[in-house]
Chains A and B, each alone.
Chain A
Amino acid sequence: MTSRDRIDAALRGEKPDQVPIFLRDLTLGLDVCDYTTPEVCAGPNGYDADKSARCVVETQRLLGHDCVVGAIHDLGLDVERFGGRVEFPERGIPFVARPAFASAADIPDPGDLAATAPGRLPGLARSYQLVRERIGSQVAIAANVEGPVTKAGLLRGLDALLSDMMRDPPAARAAVDFAVELCCEHVRVLLDAGADFVFVAAAADGPAAIRPEHYLEYTIPGLARIVSAAREREAPVVFHPHGPFTDSRFQHLVDAAVETGIVGFQFGEGNDFAVAKRRWGTHLCILGGVDIPSVLLPGPPERIREVTRAVLAGARVGGGFVLMPSCSVHRGFPLAHLQAMIEAARTSG
């Protein structure tokens, strides 16, 4: 089986020859290729697709994971496109210094999106194309796209968006509606550029940030639109919101996500994988496994190997599982720790 076959099989709920590994290494490749962050994300000619693709491919060759994100992640791509400001620390990861929409009145109509200049998005898409050309057909590529509230929070500022949800719901709806339109645009562009599936990264979509009723009101309809956009390209969707979803009080939130048509759900920190496998494992691919703050980041490698083997012992049963760190991996992360996780997975049979 190729790496891509393994991911495909796991997303279909089947059992591949070995558990596939997806690091969701959004900016780690900058370290591997020793590039500064601005020279890739904010060079004189904008987003440098060639260097971005080199980072992704070199990292995959070094670590041997089964699935990559097709570009160095540019968190603020849409923020700057709509008038906000993004900082690019030399050896850090891009962050939003000023959101695009200072007030609810600044939020454009979703219908106006087609007439807006695409900013750095074509550069990002070009990186996906180059990665597909260079990495070949045997490695899976994920289109990393933000979730509805997460994207809206980047554009509006998360504090402001959450306050709007409580005090000015029409403004919050306008922000999320516009954000989802952007998410769908990314889905189409990145799938056309060579991605195999869509990974909806949704740190602010879930009870780690928002009320469950807000999740059902804002996140789920937006996720359904994203799934629909992906289906137009026959691509599956994996969802990764943050929060304790295996807690009995929040399990219905996963059920609601499943009803939108997602094929996979990545559980982050603070979740019980035995519960996840038991409740959803027969009809949903479960992703995740090794906790970043308490295991993968502090190490040491031997402990990482032990935890990885323990995770796999339960989660791999019956297939439909992709091993991942509990969230995304960025530059500055110890490569040896990721290698320990991968090595333990590869030698676990």
Chain B
Amino acid sequence: MSDQPTLTAALEAAVEAGDEARAASAARRLLEIGAAPTVITSALSRAMERLGERFHRLDIFVPDLLIAADAFAAAMAVVEPVLNRSQRERKGTIVIGVVEGDIHTLGKNLVRVMLAADGFEVHDLGRDVKVAEFADAALERRADIIAMSALMTTTMDRMGDVIGLLVSRGVRDRFRVLVGGAPVTQAYADEIGADGYGEDASEAVAAANRLMAMRRGAKTEHP
């Protein structure tokens, strides 16, 4: 089992099965036979996309995504050192975190992995992230998107506070804001002035891509 299509299929299967060892091994073998690193990242991306779709349909569940994320990370650890600068080019830069007062990281972690698999550069601010930390990190990282998650009705309003802070600092136009989490709805996202909403991890990725397309369009219109 040493040809590229077979190894690529094995890599995708290993990620979907959440098998870290097999995923890392397949990635190593692909590099050994001379496959371009992007062959590996593309395979990882396809596997995570399929997982996202199956999760959305409730064919698989959170634990399946958790172990798949670990397998994805194991394979990425193999390929990351050999990616050259051009191959590292990302779709966009995202800072992501769980809002202040909330420590429910599960959904955020899944979104982070799915975004990374889809080609975004993702900076994870963690949980219980203060309002100003989102704005500071986005400015520091020159982020395209600020992604925020909340699992509680008592903390979701911090998302609006972040947007308010961006406005008061005069930097709202520099970032697209993406929100999600169990109590968050499209209506709520609209109410607080967010640019995008993801009902689950796969929809968050789709929304991030839409936001990047909007952003590129805006840059084209206003160079």
Contacts and interface: CB of A to CB of B under 8 A. Distances in A.
A293 B184 contact: yes
A247 B58 CA distance: 10
A165 B134 CA distance: 33
Contacts of A211: 61, 63-64
Contacts of B191: 298
Chain B: interface size category: 20 to 34
A93 B157 CA distance: 14
Which of A92, A244, A330 has its CB near the most chain B CB atoms (within 10 A)? A92
Given A159-B105, A210-B62, A298-B187, A331 B18 contact: no
Contact of B66 (A93, A166, A212, A292): A166
Interface string B104-115: 011001000000
A311 interface: no
A214 interface: yes
B154 A158 contact: no
A298 B185 contact: yes
A128 to B, nearest CB: 23
B193 to A, nearest CB: 15
B196 to A, nearest CB: 17
Given A167-B67, A207-B61, A211-B64, A332 B103 contact: no
B217 to A, nearest CB: 30
Interface string B149-186: 00011110100000000000000000000000011110
Interface in A183-231: 207, 209-212, 214
A244 B199 CA distance: 15
Given A92-B154, A298-B185, A244 B103 contact: no
Interface string B179-217: 000111101100100000000000000000000000000
A330 B151 CA distance: 13
Contacts of A93: 152, 154
A244 B57 CA distance: 12
Contacts of A333: 153
B144 interface: no
Given A166-B18, A293-B188, A97 B103 contact: yes
Nearest to B155: A92
B101 interface: yes
Interface string B84-111: 0000000000000000011101100100
A297 B67 contact: no
A207 B59 CA distance: 10
Given A92-B155, A332-B154, A162 B183 contact: no
Contacts of B152: 93, 95, 330
B106 A294 contact: no
B106 A158 contact: yes
A292 B58 contact: no
Contacts of A332: 153-154, 157
B4 to A, nearest CB: 29
A222 to B, nearest CB: 17
A97 B127 CA distance: 10
A162 B65 CA distance: 10
A87 to B, nearest CB: 8
Contacts of A212: 61
A251 to B, nearest CB: 13
A110 interface: no
Contacts of A292: 153, 183
A298 B63 contact: no
A330 B154 contact: yes
Contacts of A210: 61-63
B66 A162 contact: yes
Contacts of A166: 18, 63-64, 66-67
A89 interface: yes
| 6 cross-chain pairs, A with B, having the tightest CB-CB distances, nearest first | A162-B63, A92-B101, A332-B154, A211-B61, A293-B183, A166-B67
Interface of A: 87, 89, 92-93, 95-97, 158-159, 162-163, 165-167, 207, 209-212, 214, 244, 247, 249, 292-294, 297-298, 330-333
Interface of B: 18, 58, 61-64, 66-67, 70, 101-103, 105-106, 109, 128, 152-155, 157, 182-185, 187-188, 191
23 contacts: A87-B103, A87-B128, A92-B101, A95-B101, A95-B102, A96-B103, A97-B128, A158-B106, A159-B105, A159-B109, A162-B63, A162-B66, A166-B18, A166-B63, A167-B67, A209-B62, A211-B61, A212-B61, A244-B58, A292-B153, A294-B185, A298-B188, A331-B154
